[in-house]
Every structure is written in structure tokens, then in C-alpha cells.
Structure 1
């Protein structure tokens, strides 16, 4: 008899699919038993990085690779003048090859493999290289022996992530203002302090694993164990992590296990001369939209490689979690392409890729074994039931799912006049989540800022964002854009999830999209950077938005409001009002373009105004200290395009609020 899992009580609609839940759980258990014996941890299995690759020994170096189809392998490099005759690997059992090098492999040596398969000889980069570098003249990549004489000394031990999870999504290379690639050290020195000042509790870093094409945003990974050399050395990345921890900021990495680059020299697509060593054969092994290769998650050697990769990043770099990329593509045989997930049966049966789901469960179990405080976020737009429930309950074991429906809705809203916005649909996307499954809410991530799309600020202000952002310029469209920018971010942060995400620079309305160097733009870095000077200029309105973002996070964290569920009071479509309660606080949002309104209060003297989107420090018209006339005998005044927060207090007892000025 199949076990009945708790997920069926959490979501009764799943009872008709109990057999499907049992099937995926049985598949997970089968894979787990195949990898480790009962009672053993998954961590005891995920040690590929400790066996394969380069390892110093008393006599020299041991180097190993898994390449079952190879006929011969030689290690070449500048240490042996690239001679394939000098260092030939010996074939062991199960497709493993080994080389014992007597003497030294100097730190910084460039290396490659000459691998013979199918009667041909190929160049390959060792799969477990910790560093892969690109020649600036030829653009060719080589592996590198990385064994610095002085290992990095960690300064901040036993870091515990803060709650709530307010995530600052960032890309190291484009994090500077210069037209070029920024480094780990520059980010640590100049950007981390900004993030700390704003009040974010975590950074989510893109493009860390080595990738040949810079413009892929890091999503076409070639070398899974190598920190991208564009940004600096492994030690410099460790310094960045250490520095973030010193500021109380957790470090989450974009982990790309959903696909791999199709390059053969740099990547693992045809490492041993076959297309099936790591990936599926034929069409199943190719993603038609991403033009990348797809893993065979049911193969033990692939599970070993990927699970070891999870363990490596958590232990070697002391990361605090992962945002798993492209999870929807992993969950289904159809990759989620062209499917509307509007019925439960679409999550199960022949649609679900049980091998991939089992891998995700194993990865979640492993991450929690290594670090129980590890935070796992799934980029899943389908809303797979149980994605963020414990494995023991029949779930997949992640902590959060990205709330991907809201940004899509906001783009649709941007295409119509705000007087026609349907606030019921907005509220639905803000609060639509599966029972007991947590969501990271966001108005826009890097996806909405890439060339071909627009940032939220650009949608709202269009070209006026370039000409009418001076503080003395009272321009209707930019004033509207600033007001709605604040309202949409505030309602997302307060009602859109148990965590919140913002992409680098969007908090102050960065006016330009992201466009990496490519042939079509003359290989320019002009749009692959962040113009922090706009937010720092006291004469520009970008400063108002930056101040608002910091104040929003400070207020919500200070009052502990992330722990409170949002309870809807009412939505009025014609008046464009959304009102809801969190704890002892009442949130009032007026999206109307022209009209103010009064929120009726039975006893206004038992409330005080504690937050207003139109305070002067945010570029508004309300005196930060006085709030004169906003609380009247009949209730609270909520002006057009503003948000107001009221606190229910003991009658006659008003709490001091330091003139309502928040750190910025």
C-alpha cells in the first residue's frame, strides 16, 4: 500500500493525484537507494570534486576524469610544452582515467586534454578545473592549475542568514559604472556597501560559473566548478562572500543545472566523443529555444557530477543558498513550452519528468544536509504542487518559488492606461500561492531589464526618463512614473510573498535596459553597466526612489511585517483602491489618476500614520514630520497615486516614530 503523504492534506485538490505523488516519491527513493545505502547521507556520495580533477599528493599530483568512450587521453599544457606524449592517462574501471604526476604542476599552469575517441582526437578542458581562463587575443579558453600557496583565510565564521529574505539580484561584470567588466573586488568595495545601506539581507549573484559567451548572462555554463575568470580569482570571490557576511548579507548563487552549453572544447556536451555521456541523445537532449544541451538526470554518473557540484559551491565558497535556474524546463518533458498550467492534471502523468524531479529532491536534501540554513529558490513558472514543501511531506524540498506571474501581469498593465488596470487581477497575482508554500515576490528581475524589453521605470516614463528627472522639473509623466513605481514595489514587497527580490539598480529606476557587447551594438559595454551616479546626484529624482526603497525595507523589517499574512479588506475597481491588513497595520493603496478618497475609521484617534509614499523625502508633497490633515474625524485621507500605512494603537497612546524619517 502506498504511503499517504501530508501534501494531500495540505492541498485536498491533490487527492485525485495521490498515485502521481506516490510515483514521484517512489522514483526519488529508488534513485536514493541506488546512490547510497539506507542510513547513509547523500553528502557521503556527492564527492566527485574530491576524487576527480587535480589533487596534490606527497609525490606530486593525481588527476582523474570520467570518460567511458575515450580511447586515449593525454594531459597537455605549458608545464610540458603541450606535448601529448609526456603525460598519458591510464584507463581504470568504469570509464575512469587516471594520471599520477611526479613532481610539481605549477600554480597557474594552463592545461588541456588531448582526447582520442571514435578514431579522432579532440581538445578538451578538464571537467573539474577550478579556474578556466580565456586568451585575450585568440579568445581560446584553457584550464588552469589553481593551487595558491596561501589559501584564503575566512574571517566571518558561522554566518546565519537574516529574515526576511530581501534579495538584491546582481551581476558582477555589469555592476560598475565604467564601460567594461567589473570585478569581484570592485563589487565588494563599491556595491556591497550600497546594498547594505539599502537594507537588503541577501544578494543573488548571476553568472558565477564559467561561461564562454558573456552575453548569455551566465546561463550557458561550460565549466561547472570554475568561478568565471572575467571577474577575478576564486580567492577574490571568497573575499566577496566573506565581506557580504560581515555586513549580515547572505550570498545566493544562480545555479544552472537545467542545461549546459553546447560547446564541445570548453563544455561537457560531447566530452568523451559521445552526445550521451551527460546529456540525452537526439532531440530530447537539445533545448530548441535555448540552443543548449539537456542533462540525463536519471544517470547515476550525471547525478554524481551535479550533486558534487552543489556540495562544492556550498563548502568551497560557503554560499548560503541557490536560485535554481530553469526549473520549469526540468520538471516536464515538454519543458513548459507553450503550456498553460491551468489544471492539475498538467503537472503529472506523462507530462512530468520524474528523473529530473528526483534529482531536484536529491539536490535539496543534499543542500540541507550540508547547511540546514541553506536557502533554495526555484525558478518555476508552472507552480508545480509541492515544489516548496518538505520531501517527507511529498514535496520537492525547496524553500521558495519565484512569483513569476506578477512581472508578466505588470508588463500587460503597462500597455494600458492605469485607469483601466484591473486591481482584482493584481491582487490575485500578489497572493496566489499554494498552501504553505513560500514565494519570492518581485516587480521586475533581470528578465524585464534585458534589451528588447523595458524596465518598469522605462515603461512608465518612456523617453521622458532621460529629460525630465531633475528635481525642479515638475513633469506629469515622470511624476506619474515615480508615484506608480513606488506603489507597485511597495504592494509587492508587502503582499507579494514571504520574500522580495529587486534587480540591481532598478530600485532607483535605472533608466536603461541591459545589452551586453555583441556584433549588433559594435561590441559596446555602454548598456552593460549601472549608472550609480544618477542615484547619487542630489539634483535628480532618482534619489527619491532610492530613499523610498531603503525606507520601505527598513519599515517592513522594523515592524516584522513579513511574518504577517495580508488580509484583504476591499478592492474598489472604479476608485482604484486596494486595502488590506497585516497584523495591527492597515495598508491603503490608491492607484487612481485623479481622485483622492477617505478610508472610513470608526475611531480615528486609535490610529496613527506611520508610512506614506508621498513624504517629502520620497519626492512627495506630504511633510515628513507633520502629516497634517491626513487623519481626520471621518477617517484617513489617501491622495491619488499614494500608499498610506496606519497603525492601530492603544487609544491616547501614540508611539514616537522619529518624525517618520527612515535611513536612506
Structure 2
């Protein structure tokens, strides 16, 4: 190989932890050398005695295509003429202990279908994107002041052909996109699609970080899925897992015979709770690997964002560990200082390369400034999952309504911190699996009350500050919890209650997107003000959502008991006529129909801190949205 200046510079950056496109340096790439076409292989294995490329093309014989170690930088290289796209290969590594092991390429863009584990040569230069308009619009959009409602999706259990036999990314595009578009979601969030050996890990224990899983097709098939989403106005977020990796022999564990991608210290390397290994966040080459990986998914697949899994497991040395299984950091604390520095560096790099993408942290503790810029001490994400809201609301809504008044703080406490971060309100797969019951089945009461509670919960979620995320199946009220080896219970849509719930979701999304007050000031205190948070006795709360235009103001009234209240006084901020623009109790949603069909005129008597009020019917287990439609001057004109 001719080592030129550009190559040497990339190698230098790689070892500095600053090579943001290391997948262009390492891995398998189609090139032409001296007029001969073939595949260039490069792999980082500094502790190896010898590395070879093996595959069917050489009968898996490591003597045939031995690689050359370039200087002392730990990178091995070879060029094999005549190989092409689709070639199956692995690296045969002779360790310093005299052992031979076969490893998949850490930078492979494609892999064999499980249970096979070899890498597959798959150049990424050929796809013809058709989402230029979307990408331009994305660049010009203010993410924080836009509606965002995310449909969390596990492809293999959304719909399948038969057990462990799935549709392709292209076939899923043709089925999923029209459904999500009709429902009105703005984004799809996919559970991890990095290659993983075990279906039931759902992608959270990966072996191929640059390889889109072959369960559903090829890299170009997945590009088609993303492309079609964009052409239909739907963003795509991928669940990304830099916190750990699985121990399968063909993967990253002791890649060259020694700890390489993982910490050498077992107390830091072992994720005992999950039986996996932690990346060595302090190692420069691992930083280049992970930062490049994030940029790779965003750049090469046009993804609109990454939801970063289990950030707390990266931040804390004692996460999921018992006493004696972990060690204090150099300052006597439990924070993983290297991981904190890496996260900040990663987010800085991503936003320099791709300024208008989403970086969402699933961070389950009270770590401060998760979604704040690094220059003010933040971690540098632009969104954080609001796990506190999720836990409080699920605890509250699962109670029998008769007990809710004793736990009223669970529905009001989130507003004390709602603007401390840029929040997403998540009802994710983790809340509807492993015996936790489906969202509908968490609800107390009889058959009707379960659906009413569900609608009230979801309507309150869409009224509360923060972007929204809902796991698949919840949109039509699946009774069973998520069955990860079966598809959704689509047959339920033949029943009125479930079909009505799906219609409710369509209409709540239409309201949500049509009303800037529900999203424009999501992250500003000015976007929310209480009318009455104190009526714990009746479990009724009311508040105002504001937009930048005073004309878009919404009054929201929530009743979390089955009791109907007639002539209920609600303070309102302005004089005029108010219309009930939406109620979750509408009969076409399966509700009781206790609606406010007439305009509600303000009464000039102070109430609940407002100078005027309206008298209205409060429906049972429901949320009502009121909008001022006219002022007294307009009425008299």
C-alpha cells in the first residue's frame, strides 16, 4: 500500500480520538489499485501477532491473505483483487497468547443473517436519494418550536410473515408509512437496527455497530425505508446503544486477544446487570469508533436523530452494581469521568457536522443539564426523556380513581421541573413488557372506564409541555402487553372500542399539530400557566397553554374521576366566547358524550386567580380543550 499524507493524517486523528469518519479509513471498501478492482481491508488490532482476511473465496484459510501491519499504529491492511460486493469474510486473528480467533469486522456495513456471523462487503456509494426537499426543510426548521409526536416501533413485532420470518425494509415502508402518516405522527423511532445475534435482545446487544441488521434486508433496503419516510413527511430516529456491547465470540470482546474496545479493568468493563461489556470511553480509538458510528447513521442513512440508550449506565460507575463490584473515581465519586467527557465530545462533534439533528438522551436520574450545551456545563444533548413524568403518571393513572385525590401531587409535580430540560414525554416499550401490562390494561375500572382512562391519559400527555413518544400498539388500545416474538393484535381493530381509540389518536394528532400552543413554547415557562392545580378532592386540574400568538391560547381541563360535573366554574385568562374544540369524551371516541356543544361565554366574576370564568360541563375521565373564538368587540360588530 502507498501510504499518502491524507492516510497518515486520518490515522493520526483516529489515534487522537478525533477521526469522525473512521468508517472510511477502516473496514472493507471497493477500490481500484494500479488499475485493478478489488476490496481494501483495514482493521485496528494493535495486540495481534498476525491478522488475515478469510472467507469462502480462500476456503477460510488464514495463510492465503495475510494482512500487513502499518508501522506501530496497530492498523492492519491488505488489498484483495477480484473481490466484490456481497463477499462474505471475517478476520482471523493470531493473539499474543498463540490462539486463533475469527472476528466479524467492527466496521462492516453489512452482516450475514443470523445465526451466521460473518461480515459482508457492501459499498454504500450507490443509493439515489429522493428526499432533498425534506433535508432542506429539516435544515430550516426550529426543532424546539415544532410539533413532535414519535411512534416507537419494533419492526419485527409490528407485523411479520411468521415467527422469525420478517418482511423487508422495503415491504415495511409500504405498510408502516401510510399507517403512521394517517395517524398523524411526525416521527418514527426504531428500536436498534445495528446487527445483533439474538432476536430477543431487540437490538440492544449489538455485534455489528456499522451494519444494519440483515433480518429485514440490505443497507440499501433500509435507505429506501428512510427515504420513503422523508418523502411522506415523517422523520426517522434510531435507538442507538453506545453504552455497552454483547460478549459473543465473533464480536468486539477481546478483539485482538486483549481488552480493546472494553475497559481492561473488570469492575469498569462488566455490565453485570445485563451481562454485557462497557466501552472504554477513555480510549481515543474507541472514541473515534463511537463518534464515527453516530455520524455514520445520521449521514449515510439520512437519519433525523438518535435516541441514546441507557445514558445513566454510562455516567455512573455503580450503575446496576452491588457494593464491592465497582470502584470510586480518582476524585472519590461514582461518576465515570471518562464517559462524561466522551458524551460531551460526541455531541459537540455531531452538532458541528449535522447542526439540526436530534440527540435524545434516555437518562433516568437527576443529572443536571443533560440537554444543555457543553459550553455552559451541559452534556450537549438537545433532548432528554422525562422519566420522572412517565413514572409519576403511570403510578397515578393505574390507581382506582377513588384513591387519586390522595396522590394528586403525582400529576402536578412535573411542572416544577418541566422547563429545566428539553423534554420528551415517553411511553416506551419498556413500560409495556415483562409483566408491566399494556397501557390500556394498566387502566383501572370496567371495560368502558379502561378506555376512558386511556384517552384521558393520552390527552393529558398531549396537553402537557414536552414532545411526545408512544410505543406501537398503544394507539389502538392493545390489551396484551408487548409480545416481542409475535406481531401486534391487529384483529382488535374489528371491535368498536379499539377502532374508536385509533380514531381518537388521529384526531388528537390533528389538534396537536393545528394548535401551536401545544408545542411552540414547550421549553419555555411562558408556554404554561396553572389555572387550578389544587382541586385534589375532585381530581380536576386546569391550565393554559400559550403560543407566541395570544390568539392561539388553549385552556385545558382534566377530570381523572368518573364523576360528571355540571356548571363547573373554570377561570379563564381573557374575556370572550370559548369553544370546546376537543374532548376525549366525544361519543365517536367511545366516550359518554358529556360535551359542551354551545359557546361558553365568560362571566365577569373573578375565579381561580382569573378576572373572569366560564361555566361548563366537566365530562368523566376526560380532558377538554377550550379555545377563545371571539372577543366582546367582535361579537358586537
Q: When the two structures are superposed, what TM-score results if normalisation uses the length of structure 2?
A: 0.85
Please state whether the residue corresponding to 2:220 is helix, strand or coil. helix
> Is 1:401 matched up with 2:384?
yes
Where does 1:222-237 land on structure 2 (aligned, <5 Å)?
222-237=207-222
Please state whether the residue corresponding to 1:409 is helix, strand or coil. helix
Instruction: Look up the match of 1:440.
Output: 424
Distance 1:436 1:270 in 2: 41
Distance 1:52 1:276 in 2: 16
> Is 1:183 matched up with 2:168?
yes
Task: Give the total of aligned pairs.
Answer: 578
Instruction: Look up the match of 2:580.
Output: 609
Instruction: Look up the match of 1:478.
Output: 447
Deviation, 1:642, is: 1.7
> Is 1:58 matched up with 2:32?
yes
Please state whether the residue corresponding to 2:58 is helix, strand or coil. coil
Instruction: Look up the match of 1:540.
Output: 496
Unaligned segments of structure 2, at least 5 residues = 1-10, 324-328, 522-526, 547-552, 604-613
Please state whether the residue corresponding to 1:500 is helix, strand or coil. strand
Please state whether the residue corresponding to 1:111 is helix, strand or coil. strand
Distance 1:310 1:411 in 2: 32
CA contact 1:134–1:140 (8 Å) conserved in 2? yes
> Is 1:281 matched up with 2:265?
yes
Distance 2:225 2:332 in 1: 44
Deviation, 1:103, is: 1.8
Aligned match for 2:361, one of 353, 363, 378: 378
CA contact 1:328–1:336 (8 Å) conserved in 2? no
Deviation, 1:84, is: 1.4
Distance 1:549 1:106 in 2: 48
Distance 1:600 1:223 in 2: 56
Deviation, 1:239, is: 0.4
Deviation, 1:155, is: 0.6
CA contact 1:608–1:654 (8 Å) conserved in 2? no
Aligned match for 1:145, one of 114, 121, 137: 121
Instruction: Look up the match of 1:567.
Output: 529
Deviation, 1:590, is: 0.9
CA contact 2:396–2:407 (8 Å) conserved in 1? no
Aligned match for 1:306, one of 290, 293, 296: 290
Please state whether the residue corresponding to 2:431 is helix, strand or coil. helix
Unaligned segments of structure 1, at least 5 residues = 1-34, 340-345, 462-475, 517-524, 656-664
Deviation, 1:314, is: 1.4
Supply the RMSD in Å over aligned alpha carbons.
2.8
> Is 1:578 matched up with 2:541?
yes
CA contact 1:67–1:95 (8 Å) conserved in 2? no
CA contact 1:64–1:96 (8 Å) conserved in 2? no
Distance 1:366 1:290 in 2: 29
> Is 1:333 matched up with 2:289?
no
Distance 2:252 2:215 in 1: 20
Deviation, 1:504, is: 1.1
Distance 2:413 2:472 in 1: 23
Where does 1:66-215 land on structure 2 (aligned, <5 Å)?
66-117=44-95, 118-134=97-113, 139-147=115-123, 151-157=126-132, 158-161=135-138, 163-176=146-159, 178-180=161-163, 181-215=166-200
Deviation string, structure 1 residues 208-233 (Cα, Å, up to 9, x no partner): 10111110111101110000000111
Distance 2:137 2:475 in 1: 26
Please state whether the residue corresponding to 2:408 is helix, strand or coil. helix
CA contact 1:322–1:376 (8 Å) conserved in 2? yes
Distance 2:511 2:234 in 1: 18
Deviation, 1:631, is: 7.3
Deviation, 1:100, is: 2.8
> Is 1:253 matched up with 2:238?
yes
Aligned match for 1:502, one of 457, 460, 470: 470
Change (3 A) 1:77 1:330: same
